[in-house]
Amino acid sequence: MTKVSRFSIPDIEALPQDIRGRILAVQEKSGFVPNVFLVLARRPDEFRAFFAYHDALMEKDGGLSKAEREMIVVATSALNHCQYCVVAHGAILRIRARKPLLADQVATNYRKADLNARERALLDFACKVATESYAVDDTDLDAMRANGFDDEDIWDATAIAAFFALSNRLANVTAMRPNDEFYLLGRTPKET
Amino acid sequence: MTKVSRFSIPDIEALPQDIRGRILAVQEKSGFVPNVFLVLARRPDEFRAFFAYHDALMEKDGGLSKAEREMIVVATSALNHCQYCVVAHGAILRIRARKPLLADQVATNYRKADLNARERALLDFACKVATESYAVDDTDLDAMRANGFDDEDIWDATAIAAFFALSNRLANVTAMRPNDEFYLLGRTPKET
Amino acid sequence: MTKVSRFSIPDIEALPQDIRGRILAVQEKSGFVPNVFLVLARRPDEFRAFFAYHDALMEKDGGLSKAEREMIVVATSALNHCQYCVVAHGAILRIRARKPLLADQVATNYRKADLNARERALLDFACKVATESYAVDDTDLDAMRANGFDDEDIWDATAIAAFFALSNRLANVTAMRPNDEFYLLGRTPKET
Amino acid sequence: MTKVSRFSIPDIEALPQDIRGRILAVQEKSGFVPNVFLVLARRPDEFRAFFAYHDALMEKDGGLSKAEREMIVVATSALNHCQYCVVAHGAILRIRARKPLLADQVATNYRKADLNARERALLDFACKVATESYAVDDTDLDAMRANGFDDEDIWDATAIAAFFALSNRLANVTAMRPNDEFYLLGRTPKET
Amino acid sequence: MTKVSRFSIPDIEALPQDIRGRILAVQEKSGFVPNVFLVLARRPDEFRAFFAYHDALMEKDGGLSKAEREMIVVATSALNHCQYCVVAHGAILRIRARKPLLADQVATNYRKADLNARERALLDFACKVATESYAVDDTDLDAMRANGFDDEDIWDATAIAAFFALSNRLANVTAMRPNDEFYLLGRTPKET
Amino acid sequence: MTKVSRFSIPDIEALPQDIRGRILAVQEKSGFVPNVFLVLARRPDEFRAFFAYHDALMEKDGGLSKAEREMIVVATSALNHCQYCVVAHGAILRIRARKPLLADQVATNYRKADLNARERALLDFACKVATESYAVDDTDLDAMRANGFDDEDIWDATAIAAFFALSNRLANVTAMRPNDEFYLLGRTPKET
């Protein structure tokens, strides 16, 4: 079996009930267990906090569409050269945006992707949060507002870029391997 | 009153019970409410996940001493120019290490700080995780092992640097203001 | 029709015979005309030199396999955030290496791709040529030789990285759009 | 004899007729053989493509003066720390611009060189193509147009910066040595 | 005794009279001898020139207040990760500005410090001088003038940033250790 | 008359006697007044300290030859894109090293210059002092010692790189113009 982490992977049967339950649920829904669940399961408390944070940002309703949130993940993870997040969230972006080409475009250079002005402004902001958050100032927030984002949206964009700053570092150091299944998901119109 | 965030701060009385309880507990223990609690409270689910993650990494027992964990926070937050984390965790580092000078040394240039070889190796590793995690490879882990760190310690160092990558970005974008109290804490031997 | 360049595209019928012939040949072979041919055709002399150089490096026999040459293109073009070259040569890499996952891995972080030691050394070298050629010295050439590459291979790796330094800049400034067809090519084992 | 390349130099007598002819012609015209001809001659097909591309960009008539084209070469090659191109094209720039001081000024810091506004805008654009072509956008092209450059001029500036991105990398990796003759050419008013 | 330099420290008794006199004077005034005097004393001529330059910039009257000059030192020295200058001049800044929190704020991220618009503009300018002086142009000087600085003030800001570029490099290479006394100076309102 | 500074130039007749004397002496010796004397003269105290420091480092006897000291100036000033120092000290280097080609080589890429191993190690060290002095550690000093440099030589190399960090910033911000005379000095063997 291909190695999915530099660190040991726990036996699923031995995991706490809630964690085992979450893993089985995602397997049932997706048809496979994304490796992030296996890699992080060795630390149950961190696993719980990680996915609670993830769900609070990525699964709730709100001003940013789910496709917009995935765009932030793909664009910022590409800047961090995080293979797991680019491949896995690239798949989710293709599906949520119903655009088979978008993830590869955003991953390489979001400035050349098929984005509208709002989406471009969102990624300009999120990429600044990812790479030089110390220099974010009022003019950056004003540029977001000029594109129709309110304070809740700006918080969401910030928090998503920040959360994947964490996630990218975990995935990079663990050498977390993207599941083979992600590469093909959402690449044909009929799927999306 | 000095502004502590670019975003609105909720009324403490209106917060969910668990969050209000946590804030009152820290106030009782510390004598003041660190602003990170106020700034993040506007998003209860994110607040809960943030502090659950924080506590899982910073409060548990384990191979890294609590002072070593705070060193990672100060060194990596300085690279991100995060005023809140450098000032607040600088105070905690002074207290936990019982070294009044250490935090300012680590914040400016950890290579010149009063560290032993183990601590120096730890910060070399954590700073690489913070700034170019995509390039972390087996030689970096081997350097940690050569200094007595095992896989659990390496995971801890990684996860702490990753968690504060998140925290620094939130603090930078919200312009989270360190409480005045932090600046003086732990600066005299008698306190520590 | 989607815009494929910031600059005007000539009428194919009006092109010099040799250029028109080349374009029709690639269309017959591939089933579509890669946009690089259309974008560069407005300058016939530059078009001829560009493809003569390309073919001299990419189509000849030699010590580097065709898949290895395409790896260089994908890895270095990703560093230059060149959407056209990453997408188009990603497709060619998938086909030539008969590995559906390889191109996305190399584009995000070649250090985490499914490469053997020889391939890893090749991309370390090529990426240094792409980003800081002024610092390439004898130790870099020795590292290549230690992995079985001779002087002709080193020249090839250098020239390919150099040629795509040119190509990436042309594609980036013209906003050359990758054809939709490239995104799916070589993604399933049966194709490759 | 001083070494002019890290790679072997072919015997001129054994070269294909067209390449030998070109080398003898440049020797007759210049009084010496610039080392780029010797270093690249070991790969005849690449040699032919390289000089065909070079001549298509640097020798034709067009909106950019020949001195302006050489300015681009010197400014961008300096950013790549390419000794051969800075020294050799510095000499050509001195001669074509009839300005003995200009090449050294441009090589060190074109912002402080004796340039008019048009030339300054040209080098701002070309240096962005050389160093961060992925970020070139419509505002960069508009700045060129505001200084009187049309689309053909912008293409020329782009292609020259791109071609010397290639040339700089070849010269850097081969350690191509500038001929001693270049250093003094065009340094006194009477020569130019 | 803690090591204060990588280089040998001369015997104070054996120093030239003027240098010994200066050291005794500062000791009398401050209650301790700042290590910069001991570290530099081994080269009497350089010592004299260094402090003559320092005093000409930092001790004279002029358009920049003494606190403003110290802000420049702290902000630019932090960018150079110079422990001695950040700690020692941080103390002086606290005292001269009568603001116990300011030095730590400026050292971490001057953009988040308690500064007025004039001070912010001053540090924007000085930090550009420190990190990319080759790109300083008329628009930077105009931004200073728009904030009330005249040519003499701009010269002062430039010269102070430049002088500490020198000082930071000396302190970094010598591993000049800040005296313990500096860390606490000016941290309580009554002192300042 | 060509502008030699962004700041006003004082009337030589009105300068303090010692400064006027120094300027006349250099004019008599060199045949022209290098612009650095005119540009800095408006601040007599800074002028005196600047040249006292300069002379203490560049004119004294010692382990580093005068040509080696000028190499440091040219290599580090090129990294700072300082036109005045590269052109003026390039001339001095040509004369002191009696090598007409050396300055242009060092200014573009010292790694490709005609240097022996000792000189190469010296410039590796000095360039690290110039660009990332915070990271200089014992291994850098050991590399110097392995090439025959003692502590006094290492101090000299450090101090020269540090002094020109100051000088480059002054020259860049003042837009100090190199005198035309420097460009040709030392370019022919008979001069040197």
Which residue in chain F is spatially nearest to C137 when comparing CA positions? F111
Interface of B with E in 111-150 (CB under 8 A): 112-113
Position A37 pLDDT exceeds 50: yes
Query: Among D76-80, D111-115, F1-5, whose mean pLDDT is lowest?
Result: F1-5
pLDDT over 70 percentage in chain A: 98
Do residues F73 and F126 make contact, with C-beta atoms less than 8 angstroms apart?
no
A-chain residues near B82 (CB < 8 A): 133-134
Q: What is the pLDDT of residue B189?
A: 72
Which residue in chain D is spatially nearest to A111 when comparing CA positions? D135
Label residue B13 exposed, middle or buried (CB < 10 Å: 0-12, 13-18, 19+).
exposed
Which residue in chain C is spatially nearest to B134 when comparing CA positions? C109
Measure in Å the smallest separation between the Cα of D112 and chain E Cα atoms. 9
pTM here? 0.97
Confidence of residue F191 (pLDDT cuts 50, 70, 90): low
List b or e across D159-190, with b for residues whose CB sees 16 or more CB atoms inside 10 angstroms.
bbbbbbbbbbbbbbbbbbbbbeebbbbbbeee
Between helix D66-79 and helix D102-109 the angle, nearest 10°, is 40
C53 contacts chain D (CB < 8 A) = yes
Q: What is the pLDDT of residue E114?
A: 97
Task: Measure Cα distances from C14 to C1, C44, E130 in Å.
Answer: 20, 11, 56
Q: How far apart are CA F89 and CA D85, in angstroms?
A: 22
Position A20 pLDDT exceeds 60: yes
Q: How far apart are CA D72 and CA C24, in angstroms?
A: 35
C-chain residues near A87 (CB < 8 A): 104-105, 108
Do F and E share at least 3 CB pairs under 8 Å? yes
Mean pLDDT of F174-187: 97
Residue A18: phi and psi, rounded to 5, are -65, -40
| Segment A101-130, tens digit of pLDDT | 999 999 999 999 999 999 999 999 999 999
Mean pLDDT of D2-12: 94
Mean pLDDT of D16-36: 97
Question: What tokens appear for B13 in the block?
Answer: 């009385």
A173 contacts chain C (CB < 8 A) = no
Q: How far apart are CA E133 and CA E152, in angstroms?
A: 18
Low-confidence ranges of chain C (pLDDT < 50): 192
Decide if C82 and A183 are in contact by the 8 Å CB cutoff: no
Could you tell me if residue B15 is left (phi over 0), alpha (psi between -120 and 50 degrees) or otherwise beta? beta
Do A and F share at least 3 CB pairs under 8 Å? no
Candidate from A48, A56, A166 with C-beta closest to B166: A166
Q: What's CA E28's distance to the chain center, in Å?
A: 21
Report the neighbours of C using a cutoff of 3 or more CB pairs below 8 angstroms: A, B, D, F
Q: What is the pLDDT of residue C192?
A: 45
Do residues E71 and A96 make contact, with C-beta atoms less than 8 angstroms apart?
no
| Segment D164-174, tens digit of pLDDT | 999 999 999 99
Do residues D67 and D96 make contact, with C-beta atoms less than 8 angstroms apart?
yes
F6 contacts chain D (CB < 8 A) = no
Which residue in chain C is spatially nearest to F124 when comparing CA positions? C135
Size of interface B-C (CB pairs under 8 A): 4
Which residue in chain D is spatially nearest to F181 when comparing CA positions? D101
Q: What is the pLDDT of residue D162?
A: 98
Q: What is the pLDDT of residue F62?
A: 86
Residue type, C31: G
Position F189 pLDDT exceeds 80: no
Do residues F179 and F34 make contact, with C-beta atoms less than 8 angstroms apart?
yes
D80 contacts chain C (CB < 8 A) = yes
Mean pLDDT of chain A: 96
Q: What is the pLDDT of residue D192?
A: 45
Measure in Å the smallest separation between the Cα of B185 and chain A Cα atoms. 25
Mean pLDDT of D3-18: 96
Q: What is the pLDDT of residue A2?
A: 81
CA nearest to B133, candidates C79, A176, C81: A176
Mean pLDDT of chain F: 96
Decide if B86 and E101 are in contact by the 8 Å CB cutoff: no
D1 contacts chain A (CB < 8 A) = no
Residue with tokens 């003030």: E153
Do A and B share at least 3 CB pairs under 8 Å? yes
Q: What is the pLDDT of residue F31?
A: 96
pLDDT over 90 percentage in chain B: 95
Q: What is the pLDDT of residue E62?
A: 86
User: Tell me, what DSSP letter sits at residue E190?
Assistant: G
Q: What is the ipTM of this complex?
A: 0.97
| Segment A130-152, tens digit of pLDDT | 999 999 999 999 999 999 999 99
Measure in Å the smallest separation between the Cα of C107 and chain B Cα atoms. 13
Decide if D105 and F83 are in contact by the 8 Å CB cutoff: yes
Residue F177: phi and psi, rounded to 5, are -95, 130
Confidence of residue A182 (pLDDT cuts 50, 70, 90): very high
Mean pLDDT of B133-147: 98
Which residue in chain A is spatially nearest to B140 when comparing CA positions? A173
Mean pLDDT of A34-47: 98
Question: What tokens appear for F103 in the block?
Answer: 């300055």
Residue F64: phi and psi, rounded to 5, are -85, 130
CA nearest to A45, candidates E148, C126, B62, D141: B62
User: Tell me, what DSSP letter sits at residue F64?
Assistant: S
Mean pLDDT of F38-60: 97
Decide if D109 and E134 are in contact by the 8 Å CB cutoff: yes
The Cβ of residue B42 has, within 10 Å, a number of other Cβ atoms equal to 18
Residue with tokens 């001659």: D41
Q: How far apart are CA D86 and CA F101, in angstroms?
A: 13
Q: What is the pLDDT of residue B2?
A: 81
Report the neighbours of B using a cutoff of 3 or more CB pairs below 8 angstroms: A, C, E, F
Which residue in chain B is spatially nearest to C112 when comparing CA positions? B134
Decide if D136 and C173 are in contact by the 8 Å CB cutoff: yes
B107 contacts chain E (CB < 8 A) = yes
Mean pLDDT of chain E: 96
- The three-state secondary structure class of E45 is helix
Q: CB under 8 Å to D107, separation ≥6 — which residues?
A: D74, D75, D77, D78, D86, D90, F107, F108
Do residues F23 and F56 make contact, with C-beta atoms less than 8 angstroms apart?
no
Q: What is the pLDDT of residue D62?
A: 86
Do residues A148 and A176 make contact, with C-beta atoms less than 8 angstroms apart?
no
Between helix A117-132 and helix A151-174 the angle, nearest 10°, is 50
Task: Measure Cα distances from D74 to C131, D84, D88 in Å.
Answer: 18, 10, 9
Q: CB under 8 Å to F30, separation ≥6 — which residues?
A: F181
Do residues D88 and D36 make contact, with C-beta atoms less than 8 angstroms apart?
yes
Which residue in chain F is spatially nearest to D100 when comparing CA positions? F183
A162 contacts chain B (CB < 8 A) = yes
Mean pLDDT of E2-25: 95
Question: What tokens appear for E36 in the block?
Answer: 């910069």
B-chain residues near C109 (CB < 8 A): 134
| Segment D60-109, tens digit of pLDDT | 888 999 999 999 999 999 999 999 999 999 999 999 999 999 999 999 99
Mean pLDDT of B86-102: 97
Do residues C100 and A87 make contact, with C-beta atoms less than 8 angstroms apart?
no
